[in-house]
Amino acid sequence: MNDDGYDHRSVERRYQEAWDEADVYRTPDDVSDPTYVLGMYPYPSGELHMGHVRNYTITDAYGRFNRMRGEDVLHPMGWDAFGLPAENAAKERDTNPRDWTFDCIDTMRRQMESMGFGYDWDREITTCTPEYYRWNQWLFGRLHEEGLVEQRDAEVNWCPDCETVLADEQVEGEAELCWRCDTPVEQRELEQWFLKITEYADELIDTLDELKGWPDSVRQMQRNWIGRQYGTTLPFEIDSHGTVEAFTTRADTVYGATFFALAPDHPISQELIKTDDAVHEFIHHEADPEGDEPNGVRTDLTATNPVTGEELPVFVADFVLSDVGTGALMGVPGHDDRDHVFATKMGVDIVPVIAPSDEDDVDVSESAFTDDGVLINSGEYSGLDSETAREQITEDTEAAELTTQYRLRDWGISRQRYWGTPIPVVRCSECGPVLVPESELPVELPEFVNTTGNPLDAATDWKETTCPECGGEAVRETDTMDTFVDSSWYFLRYVSPELTDAPFDLDRANDWMPVDQYVGGIEHAVMHLLYSRFITKFFADAEGLEHREPFTNLLAQGMVQLDGSKMSKSKGNVVSPQEIVEDYGADTARLFMMQAAQPERAFDWTEEGVRSTYAFLTRLYDLVESFDPETATGEHDAVAAYVESEIDATIAVATEEYESLTFNIALREAQGLVRTLRQYADYTEPHAATFERGLQTAVLLLSPVAPHIAEALYDELGGEGFVVNAAWPESDADRSTAEDRRRLVENTREDVRQIIEVAGIDDPERIDVVVAPEWKYRALEVAVESDAPNVIGELMQIPEIKKQGQAAADYGKDLQAEREALSVGLAVDEEYEALSAAAWLIEREFDAPVRVVRAADADESTVSKATPGRPAIDILET
Ligand code: ANZ
Ligand code: ZN
């Protein structure tokens, strides 16, 4: 090691090379069930940002921790390499998406290596390679065979000037203009491909309850996204148009229906356009489904309420959504907020039919009453509660049916772009759309052509083909797949990335899945995770995968902020990881991030935090370097014993915190240990073995987060091989006792400080720390356990306490006053021992000898002030 102190550049370079040479991060195929730790793979934008660094430091630290605990760890990395930005970048730079993407990947891989992330690069996957995307095509084929693919018309953004489809991101502003030519964008119906995720809606929602390792918030977001509702479809008769079904969750309010409403693109509305000018005008010029206000137009139709027989006016209204329920609803303004606003605006009656309880009346003139309650004004159903009424009305009404509705829609995967997986379909004028047979996969992307439209449309040679079924002329599907298809199964590919005859090795996937710990951004809480769950279930049903959920534990990492707002390019407040690595090193960046906050929380990046982290590493480096076991001649005395117990306590706490990924607390522990060691060396000649064990422990505990410097120090301390492969330190210390001891010592030191300050003592001659008498510990125990309203009586029944007379009565009063907050801590002997062991810390701080005294050996007036957990302090001045 060089003597000029900590040089992060040479340390980090040296160990990155050494790890690489020794191939330490490989996960051999023959391990039986590695701990699978995975960070969401990045889009290769060409630049690693702080969000990535945080994400991947979390998985790296967790992976390293598990590895040191003797687990085989699978920790792979890959690239979510398809997508629109590459296509745009290629157009701007006059290159092609493939070259641009691979350049970006090379840059980012290098940046990741400079961060010291321990990946098994042999398992790297890149979704834009035919070796990968052919399995997207295969998956599409399998889904198709299982009846889970459907083609239907769906709307896309269309620029009439460029004659091309636009992605949502290419439509700009309120006015919805084409990003390229500023022409107003239109909607067009286009045949597109859908994966029928809705077939799995129930399972996707039901099994959320079992995902105990996921944040509740994410599970709730998925639940809302799937949006299951139980309700009834009621049949309404509309003059000359026959039966029209309406979905309601509130069949109990059917007597309060005062209007009926159709979505603008409901078939009846569309028919009315032709004959009713007002409907025409409304649908084409006024309807605004995204607006805050419900708008509508009255038609001259009426609908018959199937329960009451009443005739209701029929409206076409923009708040009725065509893809929800049946695209038609019964309006109940008395009990639905939106209906209330609409009815008020349109002058429709508002009738109350649900009251809070039997006796109550309800006023719905100003606003709707939306809770369940008891039916009123509802004929034979009056008096029933809402729930019973819903069942009863559904049962009694002919053609009414219990229905489950979902907000979830099938997954539209067609993208009219070049840089994605070609959908493996050929369109034949004779046979229609025909799946490309597996033997002809992959359908590879042709060379990129720079055009305003979809490059695949312009690739004539590629596009023109023959039909796999009849051999006649046919054209290829020019749509490519949503990149969420790629990411819906990439975690399975890592188990056997080179496999050429299947997407993944089934046996190995059965052994290695599910991912034990998944880490990524909250922005993926819905789509990516839902699609991954869906495809995993599909693999379970269709391919024999023995797992129905892909990710056992999920951590959504918090944002990295600067001055309170998210670091982002568009805000111009980014700190580049590369610069930090140059100036302070990867270890500093990693350590600062992990100690700044719990991984789920947002935290503020500060230069000051980075500097103080760097200073800590430098001090640690110097401490290790200046330690020489040959010349350390200290005894194994009480101070050494204290340090030993601190080492054990630190291990116990840090291990638990690493287990739960609360790195910030684990690191605070490790740093606390380093501080104790420095104080030790400062106070006395340290005992060599104790001090060495302390340093080793600190290095081991820091190593998952700051692996490079840990390697250097581990080596300096005589460790064998790499710290990466070292065993995690063990301890049998009990965490809660250890924490009680520390708290006791800390509070006592604080009390001494207070007294010295308040009493204005300049130069204390001696400090006595007096432990409370044993009977007070007994009294405390009784007070905690007792459920008597007043504990004093109970205390006085105990002879040992009663015998203390007035002192017992006074203490009993104190205990009674603080009943709620009491808890039992250390026993009297444990306190005496803990304080004796830590006396040197007090001596060192106040530069005066310290005596820890038992109650029996101190004078009465001091003893009376001591309580369990709070010794009395007596300071003698010179
Ligand atoms: C009558 C009714 C009475 C409703 C009442 C609600 C309350 P939420 O609102 O989440 O419970 N609905 C049905 N089809 C619709 C469509 N195509 N577009 C917009 N809204 C539609 O969702 C269920 C309710 O949404 C349904 O229950 C229906 O209004 C409305 F006191 O029917 B309800
Ligand atoms: Zn054909």
Q: Which atom of ligand 1 is nearest to the CA of 325?
A: 14
Q: What angle do CA 619, 624, 629 make, to 5 degrees?
A: 150
- Of 273, 265, 360, 346, give the one whose Cα is nearest residue 312: 346
Ligand having the closest approach to the CA of 340: 1
More confident residue, 761 or 1: 761
For the chain, report the end-to-end CA distance as a whole number of angstroms: 49
Q: Which atom of ligand 1 is nearest to the CA of 334?
A: 31
Distance CA 704, CA 75 (A): 14
Ligand 1 pocket residue status of 253, Cβ below 6 Å: yes
Cross-strand bridge partners of residue 519 = 39, 555
Does pLDDT of 2 surpass 50? no
329 CA to centre of ligand 1 in angstroms: 7
Does pLDDT of 586 surpass 70? yes
- 514 upstream amide cis, omega within 30 of 0: yes
612 CA to centre of ligand 1 in angstroms: 57
Reported confidence tier of residue 564, pLDDT bands at 50, 70, 90? confident
317 CA to centre of ligand 1 in angstroms: 13
- Do 772 and 828 touch, CB atoms closer than 8 A? yes
Q: Whose CA is nearest to atom 28 of ligand 1?
A: 248
Does pLDDT of 1 surpass 60? no
Reported confidence tier of residue 3, pLDDT bands at 50, 70, 90? low
Cross-strand bridge partners of residue 481 = 414
- Of 876, 863, 802, give the one whose Cα is nearest residue 828: 863
Distance CA 526, CA 816 (A): 52
Which are the contacts of 140, defined by CB distance < 8 A and separation ≥ 6? 149, 193, 423, 424, 481, 485
Which run of H or E residues covers position 580?
helix 577-583
Taken in order 616, 618, 619, 625, is the CA torsion positive or negative? positive
Ligand 1 pocket residue status of 76, Cβ below 6 Å: no
pLDDT tens figures, 186-236: 988 889 999 999 999 999 999 999 999 999 999 999 999 999 999 999 999
Query: Where do the CATH 3.40.50.620 domains begin and end in the chain?
Result: 34-126+487-557
Ligand 1 pocket residue status of 330, Cβ below 6 Å: yes
Which run of H or E residues covers position 510?
helix 506-512
DSSP three-state, residue 235: strand
Mean pLDDT score, 696-708: 98
Fold of 229-405: Isoleucyl-tRNA Synthetase; domain 2 (3.90.740)
Which are the contacts of 665, defined by CB distance < 8 A and separation ≥ 6? 653, 657
- Of 94, 798, 127, give the one whose Cα is nearest residue 484: 127
- Do 263 and 328 touch, CB atoms closer than 8 A? yes
135 CA to centre of ligand 2 in angstroms: 24
- Of 579, 580, 613, 582, give the one whose Cα is nearest residue 596: 613
Reported confidence tier of residue 263, pLDDT bands at 50, 70, 90? very high
Q: What pLDDT is stored for residue 295 in this prediction?
A: 94
CATH match of 34-126+487-557 with 3.40.50.920 = no
How distant, in Å, are the alpha carbons of 18, 110, 336, 500 from that of 13?
A: 9, 12, 66, 36
Ligand having the closest approach to the CA of 425: 2
Distance CA 617, CA 20 (A): 24
467 CA to centre of ligand 2 in angstroms: 5
336 CA to centre of ligand 1 in angstroms: 8
Q: What pLDDT is stored for residue 168 in this prediction?
A: 77
- Of 249, 236, 227, 445, give the one whose Cα is nearest residue 335: 249
Which are the contacts of 252, defined by CB distance < 8 A and separation ≥ 6? 353, 354, 372, 375, 378, 381, 384, 386, 387, 389, 390, 393
Ligand 1 pocket residue status of 247, Cβ below 6 Å: yes
Ligand 1 pocket residue status of 249, Cβ below 6 Å: yes
3-state SS string over 24-70?
CCCCCCCCCCCEEEEECCCCCCCCCCHHHHHHHHHHHHHHHHHHHCC
Q: Which atom of ligand 1 is nearest to the CA of 249?
A: 27
Query: Where do the CATH 1.10.730.10 domains begin and end in the chain?
Result: 571-592+600-733
Q: Whose CA is nearest to atom 26 of ligand 1?
A: 248
Mean pLDDT score, 520-525: 92
- Do 480 and 422 touch, CB atoms closer than 8 A? yes
Ligand 1 pocket residue status of 324, Cβ below 6 Å: yes
Residue-wise DSSP of 672-714: HHHHHHHHHHHHS---HHHHHHHHHHHHHHHTTTSHHHHHHHH
- Tallying the residues shown for the chain, one arrives at 878
Ligand having the closest approach to the CA of 338: 1
3-state SS string over 335-398?
CCHHHHHHHHHHCCCCCCCEECCCCCCCCCCCCCCCCCCEECCCHHHCCCEHHHHHHHHHHHCC
Q: How far is CA 476 from the centre of its chain?
A: 40
Ligand 1 pocket residue status of 336, Cβ below 6 Å: yes
More confident residue, 164 or 474: 474
3-state SS string over 444-474?
CCCCCCCCCCCHHHHCHHHHEEECCCCCCEE
How distant, in Å, are the alpha carbons of 169, 336, 422, 425, 716 from that of 467?
A: 35, 55, 16, 10, 69
Ligand 1 pocket residue status of 405, Cβ below 6 Å: no
DSSP three-state, residue 850: strand
Ligand 1 pocket residue status of 340, Cβ below 6 Å: no
Token output for 686: 């340290």
Does pLDDT of 632 surpass 90? no
Fold of 571-592+600-733: Isoleucyl-tRNA Synthetase; Domain 1 (1.10.730)
471 CA to centre of ligand 2 in angstroms: 6
Which run of H or E residues covers position 809?
helix 806-817
**% the chain with pLDDT above 70:** 100
- Of 515, 506, 650, give the one whose Cα is nearest residue 63: 515
Ligand 1 pocket residue status of 390, Cβ below 6 Å: no
pLDDT tens figures, 486-505: 999 999 999 999 999 999 99
Q: What pLDDT is stored for residue 133 in this prediction?
A: 98
pLDDT tens figures, 230-257: 999 999 999 889 999 999 999 999 999 9
pLDDT tens figures, 58-100: 999 999 999 999 999 999 999 999 998 899 899 888 899 999 9
Ligand having the closest approach to the CA of 265: 1
Token output for 380: 């034979």
Residue with tokens 């799995």: 200
How distant, in Å, are the alpha carbons of 395, 520, 550 from that of 529?
A: 39, 10, 9
Q: Whose CA is nearest to atom 8 of ligand 1?
A: 249
- 468 upstream amide cis, omega within 30 of 0: no
Q: Which atom of ligand 1 is nearest to the CA of 320?
A: 18
Q: What pLDDT is stored for residue 221 in this prediction?
A: 95
Ligand 1 pocket residue status of 335, Cβ below 6 Å: yes
148 CA to centre of ligand 2 in angstroms: 22
Which are the contacts of 183, defined by CB distance < 8 A and separation ≥ 6? 159, 160, 161, 162, 177
Distance CA 677, CA 697 (A): 11
Q: Whose CA is nearest to atom 2 of ligand 1?
A: 250
Residue-wise DSSP of 283-325: IIII--TTSSS--EEEEEEEEE-TTT--EEEEEEETTS-TTST
pLDDT tens figures, 146-157: 999 999 998 888
Cross-strand bridge partners of residue 156 = 188
Which are the contacts of 419, defined by CB distance < 8 A and separation ≥ 6? 82, 83, 84, 86, 87, 90, 97, 101, 128, 445, 480
- Do 222 and 524 touch, CB atoms closer than 8 A? no
Ligand having the closest approach to the CA of 328: 1
Q: What pLDDT is stored for residue 467 in this prediction?
A: 96
- Do 589 and 653 touch, CB atoms closer than 8 A? no
pLDDT tens figures, 99-137: 999 999 999 999 999 999 999 999 999 999 999 999 999
Mean pLDDT score, 816-832: 93
Distance CA 41, CA 35 (A): 18
Ligand 1 pocket residue status of 327, Cβ below 6 Å: yes
Distance CA 793, CA 809 (A): 10
Q: Which atom of ligand 1 is nearest to the CA of 227?
A: 10
DSSP 167: -
**Average pLDDT of the chain to the nearest whole number:** 94
